[in-house]
Amino acid sequence: MKQCLVVDDSSVIRKVARRILEDLQFEITEAEDGQQALDECRKTMPDAILLDWNMPVMDGLEFLTSLRAEEGGESPIVVFCTTENDVAHIARAIRAGANEYIMKPFDREIVEAKFQEVGLI
């Protein structure tokens, strides 16, 4: 079973994402901000990370930049999932090492399509 870390400060979004991803046969761990996510990754590197942008303590982009600099941090497939939906943000995320990008609001079909796109399912 593949592992996916869901990073979002909204518990509602985490719950929705968990439900969708569990149906897609992922084992889910959760984090509320970038720092918690980084701590999780240092314990166990997940196969995939669904990542919000705007979060307290450490935001998604900062987390991604730190993750990619960690040992083994290049391996997880990172899919941003954020309300930031302009070209500039998307381009920054890709440059920082994101593999895919979901613009909120999202649904089951979009998550499935994006995860397929990056070869996770």
Where does this chain bind other proteins (CB under 8 A)?
A: 85-87, 90-91, 94, 100-103, 106-107, 109-110, 113-114, 116-117
Cα separation, 60 vs 77, in Å, equals: 14
Residue placing its CB nearer to other proteins in the complex, 32 or 92: 92
Least Å from the CB of residue 108 to other proteins: 11
Q: Answer for the pair 18, 30: CB distance below 8 angstroms, yes or no.
A: yes
E strand residue ranges, the chain: 2-7, 26-31, 48-51, 77-82, 100-103
- CB of 32 vs other proteins, minimal distance in Å: 25
CB of 114 to other proteins, least distance (A): 7
